[in-house]
Amino acid sequence: MRKLILILMLCVACASLSAAPKSIYDFNLKTIDGQPTSLKAYHGKVVLLVNVASKCGFTPQYAGLEALYEKYKDKGLVIVGVPANNFAQQEPGTDAEIKKFCSNKYNVTFPMMSKVSVLGDDKTPLYVFLTAKDTDPKFSGDIQWNFTKFLFDRNGNPIARFEPNVTPDSTEVTAAIESALGK
């Protein structure tokens, strides 16, 4: 009986280990329109994931993000905007208000997700994965502000992290994107 219990405990432990997320493709979010979506939809694409906000000094980066998207989307780049209100309440609006702002002010056409938390006790699981040392040792660490950018290869593996002061049109970002697209 003890052996059977031990075997069952090992099976449960192994099952939970295999369920641990391994890439961004293991996460689901809601679109800004409230529809559930899996990041698996972007498999085979180079993904630039950005936590965004509408009332931030970095908000004009939306223009650069949209320009990058337009320039590289046909080559396999997708930009995913993830609104968050974690920093000085700079994203206070509803998803509908955020969508309207992005469309009207910056003509955003890249995918936008529903507002989440990227910091604190209510941090969304995707950002727990992105910022934890055990799951992302190379690019881990708390999000410091709006417009932190994570770049992923076509298999969902993180290949770069750019802090907010690194603009989307910087040589650093475009070179990393072009390199990832070329692979």
Residues serving a catalytic function are: 56
What letter does residue 57 receive in the DSSP assignment?
T
Distance CA 151, CA 178 (A): 11
Distance CA 138, CA 128 (A): 14
Burial classification of residue 6, based on how many CB atoms lie within 10 Å of its CB (0-12 exposed, 13-18 middle, 19 or more buried) = exposed
* Cα 3 off chain centre by: 44
What letter does residue 24 receive in the DSSP assignment?
G
Burial classification of residue 15, based on how many CB atoms lie within 10 Å of its CB (0-12 exposed, 13-18 middle, 19 or more buried) = exposed
State the DSSP H helix or E strand holding residue 81, giving kind and residue range, or none if neither: strand 77-83
